[in-house]
Amino acid sequence: MADKLIIVESPAKANTIKKFLGGSTKVVASMGHIRDLPKSKLGVDIENDFEPEYINIRGKGDLIKSLKKEASKAKKIYLATDPDREGEAIAWHLAYILNNDKEKIVRVTFNEITKGAVKKAIQEPRSIDINLVDAQQARRVLDRIVGYKISPLLWKKVKRGLSAGRVQSVAVKLIVDREEEIEKFIPEEYWNLFVDLEDEKSKKQFEARFYGKDNKKQEIHNKEEIDEILKNIEKAKYIVKEVKKGEKKRNAAPPFTTSTMQQEASRKLGFTLKKTMSIAQMLYEGIKIEGRGAVGLITYMRTDSTRISEEARKTAKEHIVATYGEEYYENRYYKTSKDSQDAHEAIRPTYADLEPDSIKSSLTNDQYKLYKLIYNRFMASQMASAIYNTMSVTIDANNYTFKANGQSIKFKGFMTLYVESEENKEEEKGMLPDLEENQEVKKIKINPKQSFTEPPPRYTEASLVKALEEKGIGRPSTYSPTITTILERHYIEKEQKQLVPTELGKVVNKLLIENFTDIINVEFTAKIENEFDEIAEGKEPWKKMIREFYGPFKKELDKVEKDLEHVELEDEVSDIPCEKCGRLMVYKYGRYGKFLACPGYPECKNTKPIVETIDVPCPSCGGKVIVKKSKRGRRFYICENNPKSCKYISWNKPKPGEKWDESQLKDIKKAQKNTP
């Protein structure tokens, strides 16, 4: 008979914990949730104050029997599910199926799976935090009501199988809104003016940029303005008016939160959010390390806090001082966002001595990459600032002002170990010559450059997460599933790394924002998230929040159902005749997006795919290039004559004048096989 039974979510976590505990302790896994709302119906009793109708999840009967059997043999049961609202809810459901014996069943949590953290948690058990459970129930019930009440409208008016969700619909709206901004964008002309100059003493050349006139900033809008400036400086002398030398510090970024880890892994490693979270889960739950067994390598990976423990701070200091020297250490504290729940530490390595390269052979390539990113970011966050020598120069040419800046690294500090991704990285600029005020510098060449303003960029997974976080939409646990869902529903698709709304996504978004303005709304969604936080803190009963939400929602829902009762969304008509009956075909939406169908259905069931072509000829034979998608939704480009007389196929959109040969087929041979 086991003295203690510990229940966790996953076998990997169970294996890591087992090695810390004695033989009289048994560790088993619940394999995630064991009870949930039924899929076949709403599962919320609206008439009975929104009571959830939980059922045991299908397929988990044998597991539940096994858990009950192990529980009956144990003197004490420790529910050690993840330390967040979802984990608290899983523990609550486990306690229910194990008969809620409060004398026997206790809750334990730990932010890292280390011997010290696990043993400390077991010595300090607590009861289940019903406030955290209620916050999870409120989210689950509210999202179920929104999804199950609005989705049938989409089935009737657009197509079956579609879903609406509180957070996912707002995410789609952001992407659609951005696409509309891009489509409406009108480029505006502007000019930059650069001049290559030379210090005649050192013969060193440098570049200065036009700033304005008489040291007042001036923008150049068109060719007339640039020609006027060029005429006035044609024979001008370039005189150094001001030289400023100094030092500039650059501070390290804080350790990762879920959001910043997802963003950096996307930019630096090319990982999707889903991949990042999957690998982080493995690193947290434990990986077999040669000579040490199963080791939890990082702290809990769902967090919005940049706080770290004093113990972690101490081990970081010891490691940095021993590895780099005293001058590289700086005791740093980072301010956590006012909207942060701050329930957990930032994401950091659990053991400072397990440097990424020392355990590389025990990790997969992707595990190593993410672990190294987390490890280096954390260590760098406790390191001294980088210091630059800086120099800025103001130059006069016939009353027109040019400026030049230079910098060089004086002390690398944290940058010895970690530099943020290209999006955030300051460019290293060479130092300028040792110039003096009032000296003349020699003009080598003038370079006017015409440019046009560009539309805002499309969202990537990383930038969408950043936008959701900034707007207060969702929480660390929701970013990845939200984006995964809208990709799987074909509301959006990826082009390279950019998120683009599909026609289906635009249609669904239009229907929702026209009819559910108060719900598919950034401010409303952020307000709801704050209410979940208040429930978690015990400040508001969860059913009161649902009651206040449901009244206005039901009124709006009834109105929309009535308004749309006799409205049929008309199919967009194409100019392509049906070859079977002659009617003009219409655009429909299916599993893989838009396709052509005969409007004469069911008499005529003719359908055909939409062939998307581009305006660049095939780089191999000059034929038309067709755009297709792999099963994973990745776009690729293929010649219309492939495979008859041309083998051209590529992941990358061909450029005008590009040459191609069969040697470039190496990494794309599977593309055709994976086409739906």
Contact (Cβ atoms closer than 8 angstroms) between residue 175 and residue 519: no
Q: Which two three-digit tokens encode residue 51?
A: 């009571």
Measured distance CA(655)–CA(676) in Å, rounded: 26
Looking at the annotation, which residues are catalytic? 300
- Across 453-520, where does the E strand assignment appear? 492-495, 498-501
- Place 343 in a pLDDT band, splitting at 50, 70 and 90: low
Q: How far is CA 363 from CA 224, 291, 367, 431, in A?
A: 61, 13, 6, 42
Contact (Cβ atoms closer than 8 angstroms) between residue 581 and residue 599: no
The label of the residue with tokens 């640039």 reads 226
Could you give the 3-state DSSP secondary structure of residue 275? Answer: helix
Query: What predicted TM-score, i.e. pTM, was given to this entire model?
Result: 0.85
pLDDT in tens, 61-119: 999 999 999 999 999 999 999 999 999 999 999 999 998 788 899 999 999 999 999 99
Residue 421 has pLDDT above 70, yes or no: no
Q: Is 474 exposed, middle or buried (0-12, 13-18, 19+ CB in 10 A)?
A: buried
Helix axes 61-73, 85-97, angle to 10 degrees: 80
Measured distance CA(395)–CA(385) in Å, rounded: 31
Q: How many C-beta atoms lie closer than 10 Å to residue 127's C-beta?
A: 10
Residue 673 has pLDDT above 60, yes or no: no
Q: What is the mean pLDDT of residues 293-302?
A: 95
Q: How big, in percent rounded to 5, are the helix, strand and coil portions of the chain? A: 35, 25, 40
Residue 672 has pLDDT above 50, yes or no: no
Contact (Cβ atoms closer than 8 angstroms) between residue 183 and residue 447: no
Measured distance CA(502)–CA(484) in Å, rounded: 15
- Place 266 in a pLDDT band, splitting at 50, 70 and 90: very high
b/e map 508-528, b = 16+ CB within 10 Å:
bbebbbebbeebbbbebbbeb
What is the chain's mean pLDDT, rounded?
A: 90
Measured distance CA(605)–CA(561) in Å, rounded: 30
Measured distance CA(21)–CA(115) in Å, rounded: 8
Closest CA to 284 of 265, 301, 307: 301
Four-residue CA torsion sign, 381, 385, 388, 390: positive
b/e map 90-126, b = 16+ CB within 10 Å:
bbbbbbebbeeeeeebbbbbbbbbbeebbeebbeeee
Tell me which of 13-27, 173-187, 314-328 is least confident. 13-27
Q: Which two three-digit tokens encode residue 29?
A: 């896994």
Measured distance CA(605)–CA(184) in Å, rounded: 37
User: φ, ψ for residue 170 (rounded to 5)?
Assistant: -70, -40
